[in-house]
Chain A
Amino acid sequence: MTETTERAYPPGTEYPFGPRPVHEAAEQYHRIAADRPMTKMTMPFGGDVWVIHRNQAARDMLGDTRFVREPFRTGERVVPYFVEFPDFLKTTIQFEDPPHHTKLRRLVQRSISPKRVRAMRESAVEFANHLIDEMVSKGSPANLVEEYALGLPIQMLSNLLGVPPEDRPKFERWAASTLATANMPEERIANDMLELIGYMSGLIEERRREPREDLLSDLANARDKDESLTDDEIMPIALILIIAGFDNTANFISTGVAALLHHDAQRELLLTDVDGLMPTAVEEILRHGGWALGTPVGGGGGLVPFVATEDVVIDGQLIAAGEAVLIDPTAVAHDGIVLPDDAEFDITRQNNPQLTLSYGLHHCLGAPLARMEMQVGIGELFKRLPQLRLAGEIRWNRDHLSQPMVELPVAW
């Protein structure tokens, strides 16, 4: 039998494309990127958008201030996306442009900077081990998502924001509800959102009266060129941190553990020097962790789009004024140009230009925190339980905006 007849779907250059084996998906991404820097795609919501496939073209676009998000925020344009973007998410910092974006971002940046995150590392290690102790005491097997991956980012985010420990369970429930896109009654989502906003408002007011060493205190008492932030400005920042701050990170941790459990040689390599290899392992998990699970991969993902304020040529392609453009982070990590062997899971890669956490003005605000939590979360787990193994089928929740992993059965 020839290689060609073994293929279920001979790789072409069409985009988007349905699920196919990892190496075929990579081959198709290479062909697309060789063929053109971007494709115009009609999204399920909001019409057409240019989707960028080449890594350098993506960086050029993300670094170009002629691409903005204001038309989405004002409602002048619908956000072209896979699901309808909830209104409350359009009030967050990611839909702001300079100069207001710059003001908000600087304020938050100080509280979540690499330096501040470094200071949080020790407590993250301590809490990760506490979670492992609890999981082990309950006995093998366990659902790692529930028992471990969610707990660490929630604890870190609560510490950062200043949520009192006794309020964490309800805080977690409200926050999870804000990301549900299906299978949850609208009334419940609305109620949970209102409760969360009410709770955070109370906390902001309290911190304004009695500041502590936390982010909400910093925001509530911020002075930027003699101008304080209003509650209306603080709330969307707090909300985006909650949403991006634990849900995504928990999913990255689960995906990373699952990827390592699927790759014996890489896991064994990691175990020879966990602390030394975790930084590069984390970059590789961000780039390729989802592919490393061995399940078929489709093409057509993307980060939140921008709108061109004037005609702009990127990598030879004209993006006309008013058109929307986004990057497909999977494509730009597998364009066949920036990395050799980009279909391989290699935790030792030194040069890993993945854009999963974006780049430029709107790069992930919590990137240092997410990276630290992944390094600690995955690293401590394998140090404590080097014999960890898969104990069943992985399951995802596809009715959720971020489609997180909800079951990762493991044994030790």
Chain B
Amino acid sequence: MPKVFYTQPDGAERVVDGKVGDSVMRTAVQNGVAGIVGQCGGVLSCATCHVFLAEGELDAYPPVSEDEDEMLDCAATDREPNSRLSCQLVLREGTDVHVTIPPEQL
């Protein structure tokens, strides 16, 4: 069972057991992880599930698509090179994910 490690802007960490096939966004929303809103449900139209993915895990996921790239530009907290929309990070068997939640989502 993959684990998702969510680090809040103040450094507090929460670990959630995820389900293969679910996204990091869906896992957060279903478990009440603060700071990830995901209001569009994962259709790349709200930019409220922005996260910073651990540098060492960037290559473990498909690259940022054109649509995701456009929405990352709309995020409330300025994007960084390791910015992703967590709705696009899908959990895989045997692969844990470490993300940091930005200070502002809305």
Q: Which residues of A contact B (CB under 8 A)?
A: 59, 62-63, 102, 105-106, 109-110, 113-118, 279, 350-351, 353, 357, 359-361, 363-364, 367-368, 371-372
- B65-106 vs A, CB cutoff 8 Å, 1 = contact: the mask equals 001001101111000000000000000000000000000111
CB contact between A114 and one of B42, B67, B105 (< 8 Å): that residue? B105
Q: Which of A62, A113, A357 has the most CB of B within 10 A?
A: A113
B41 touching A115, Cβ below 8 Å: no
User: Which chain B residues border A106 with CB–CB below 8 Å?
Assistant: 45, 67, 70
| B7 CB within 8 Å of chain A | no
A351 touching B32, Cβ below 8 Å: yes
| B4 CB within 8 Å of chain A | no
CB contact between A359 and one of B41, B74, B104 (< 8 Å): that residue? B41
Q: Known interface pairs A109-B45, A371-B106, A372-B106. Does A115 touch B39 (Cβ–Cβ under 8 Å)?
A: no
With both chains docked as a complex, state the minimum distance between the C-beta of B44 and any C-beta of chain A, in angstroms.
9
| B64 CB within 8 Å of chain A | no
User: Which chain B residues border A351 with CB–CB below 8 Å?
Assistant: 32, 34
Q: Which of B34, B41, B73, B104 has the most CB of A within 10 A?
A: B41
With both chains docked as a complex, state the minimum distance between the C-beta of B43 and any C-beta of chain A, in angstroms.
5
With both chains docked as a complex, state the minimum distance between the C-beta of A364 and any C-beta of chain B, in angstroms.
8
CA distance A255 to B101 in the complex (A): 31
Closest to B46 in A: A363
User: Which chain B residues border A63 with CB–CB below 8 Å?
Assistant: 41-42
| B58 CB within 8 Å of chain A | no
Within 8 A of A (CB), among B24-47: 29, 32, 34, 39-43, 45-47
User: Which chain B residues border A116 with CB–CB below 8 Å?
Assistant: 74
CA distance A59 to B47 in the complex (A): 18
A114 touching B48, Cβ below 8 Å: yes
User: Which chain B residues border A372 with CB–CB below 8 Å?
Assistant: 106
Q: Known interface pairs A115-B76, A357-B39. Does A105 touch B45 (Cβ–Cβ under 8 Å)?
A: yes
Q: Known interface pairs A361-B40, A371-B106. Does A115 touch B75 (Cβ–Cβ under 8 Å)?
A: yes
The contact size tier of chain B is: 20 to 34
CA distance A209 to B73 in the complex (A): 27
Q: Which secondary structure dominates where chain B touches chain A?
A: loop
Q: Known interface pairs A109-B45, A351-B32, A351-B34. Does A114 touch B40 (Cβ–Cβ under 8 Å)?
A: no
A62 touching B41, Cβ below 8 Å: yes
A363 touching B47, Cβ below 8 Å: no
Task: Give the top 6 A-B pairs by smallest Cβ distance, nearest first.
Answer: A113-B74, A351-B32, A114-B76, A360-B41, A63-B41, A363-B39
A114 touching B39, Cβ below 8 Å: no
User: Which chain A residues border B43 with CB–CB below 8 Å?
Assistant: 360-361
A-B contact pairs, 27 of them (CB 8 A): A62-B41, A63-B42, A106-B45, A109-B45, A109-B47, A110-B73, A113-B47, A114-B47, A114-B75, A114-B104, A115-B74, A115-B75, A115-B76, A117-B76, A117-B106, A118-B104, A350-B32, A351-B32, A351-B34, A353-B32, A357-B39, A361-B43, A361-B45, A363-B46, A367-B106, A368-B76, A372-B106
User: Which chain A residues border B39 with CB–CB below 8 Å?
Assistant: 357, 359, 363-364, 367
With both chains docked as a complex, state the minimum distance between the C-beta of B64 and any C-beta of chain A, in angstroms.
16
A-B interface contact total, Cβ < 8 Å = 70
A114 touching B106, Cβ below 8 Å: yes
CA distance A114 to B46 in the complex (A): 8
CA distance A367 to B41 in the complex (A): 14
CA distance A62 to B43 in the complex (A): 11
B76 touching A118, Cβ below 8 Å: yes
With both chains docked as a complex, state the minimum distance between the C-beta of A332 and any C-beta of chain B, in angstroms.
14
Q: Known interface pairs A114-B74, A114-B75, A116-B74. Does A367 touch B42 (Cβ–Cβ under 8 Å)?
A: no
Closest to A367 in B: B39
Extra inter-chain contacts (7) besides given A114-B105, A117-B76, CB under 8 Å = A59-B41, A62-B41, A109-B71, A110-B74, A118-B104, A360-B41, A363-B39
User: Which chain A residues border B40 with CB–CB below 8 Å?
Assistant: 359-361, 363
With both chains docked as a complex, state the minimum distance between the C-beta of A358 and any C-beta of chain B, in angstroms.
8
Closest to B72 in A: A115
CA distance A363 to B38 in the complex (A): 10
CA distance A351 to B31 in the complex (A): 9
CA distance A360 to B74 in the complex (A): 18
CA distance A351 to B30 in the complex (A): 10
Closest to A282 in B: B106
User: Which chain B residues border A360 with CB–CB below 8 Å?
Assistant: 40-41, 43
With both chains docked as a complex, state the minimum distance between the C-beta of A111 and any C-beta of chain B, in angstroms.
10
CA distance A75 to B40 in the complex (A): 27
With both chains docked as a complex, state the minimum distance between the C-beta of A285 and any C-beta of chain B, in angstroms.
14
A115 touching B46, Cβ below 8 Å: no
